Amino acid sequence: MSNAITILIALFGAVLLILAFHRLVRARFVAAGASAIMGVLLLALAALLFVVSLNLHTYARLTYEQPVAEIVFEARAPQEFRATLAHIPSGRMQLFTLAGDEWQIDARVLKWRGWATLLGLDAQYRLERIGGRYRDIEQERNAPRTVYALSENPGLDLWMLSTRYPRWLPFVDAVYGSATYMPMAHGARYQVSMTQSGLVARPMNQAAATATESWKRVVD
């Protein structure tokens, strides 16, 4: 729907510019100037909406709890794992080498209010990055860190604008980050889901369940 609105605004702007040209030819300078200004403003608005929507297309709609990724681990060395991340529903695969005892995945979430909800905008999320964590605090401070971006950030970054200039964007209800982390183990497979309250990771095989149970006992 937002793309259709952007195209409609751009068409109105183009029509006004054409009208301004015809009025200029007929020496109707005041009317031509008014039409030209309105046309330029509408085209500028359409361009702004386009770059914002380009960035929003990196997000996915959040209407209920839904799986967003699966991740499988293969031990390569002590505290070193190869992680294979499969995005859901696209099926896009990413491979990473993670150092540490645990993995963590982060996401951005955007929620809307007012006219934005009337346009059919649901809360949206985007997986942001994945990294390895050390259970020991001293290792976390001093050992090699591994962290990777999970998505690109094209267009106008609405997330950044809404955090810096919230008064300019009253249609943005809330922006927040969400993260979940679990233990890494050889052969462990997890499913990551996005819920209305944030990210949740669940073990999907025995290796992951065993690692999670042992990890809970250590944490507790």
Q: Amino acid identity of 180?
A: T
**Report field, pTM of the whole predicted structure over 0.75:** no
- The H or E element containing residue 149 is strand 147-149
Together in a domain, 25 and 124: no
Tell me the average pLDDT across 158-165. Answer: 66
Q: Does residue 74 share a domain with residue 32?
A: no
104 lies in the same domain as 134:
yes
99 has a pLDDT exceeding 70: yes
User: Tokens for 3?
Assistant: 């793309």
In contact, 198 and 180? CB cutoff 8 Å: yes
H-helix or E-strand spanning residue 16:
helix 2-25
Considering the chain, what percentage of its residues have pLDDT values greater than 90?
40
Choose the final residue of a domain: 56, 73, 94: 56
Give how far Cα 194 sits from Cα of 61, 91, 92, 110, 203, Å: 10, 16, 17, 13, 15
Mean pLDDT of 26-50: 72
pLDDT reading at 116 higher than 60: no
Residues 197 and 215 in one domain: yes
Do 46 and 77 fall within a single domain? Answer: no
Q: Are residues 49 and 99 in the same domain?
A: no
Q: Distance between CA 208 and CA 188 in Å, rounded?
A: 4
| Interacting residues of 11 by C-beta distance below 8 A, sequence separation 6+ | none
The pLDDT of 50-71, averaged and rounded, is 69
Given 15, 39, 56, the domain boundary residue is 56
CB-based contacts of 166, cutoff 8 Å, min separation 6: 172
The more confidently predicted of residues 172 and 198 is 198
- Residue 115 scores a pLDDT above 60: no
Q: Are 73 and 166 in a shared domain?
A: yes
Average pLDDT over every residue of 94-109: 94
Give the pLDDT band (50/70/90) at residue 1. Answer: very low
Is the same domain home to 117 and 145?
yes
* Residue 142 and residue 170 in one domain: yes
Please tell me the total count of domains within the chain: 2
- Identify whether residues 49 and 139 lie together within a single domain: no
Average of per-residue pLDDT across 181-207? 92
pLDDT, position 217: 75
Residues 50 and 108 in one domain: no
Q: Are 54 and 156 in contact (CB under 8 A)?
A: yes
Stretch 7-23: mean pLDDT, rounded?
Answer: 70
Whether 209 and 123 share a structural domain = yes
The parent domain of residue 101 ranges over: 61-219
Residue 118 pLDDT more than 50?
no
pLDDT at 193 over 70: yes
Mark which of 41, 56, 71 sits at the end of a domain.
Answer: 56
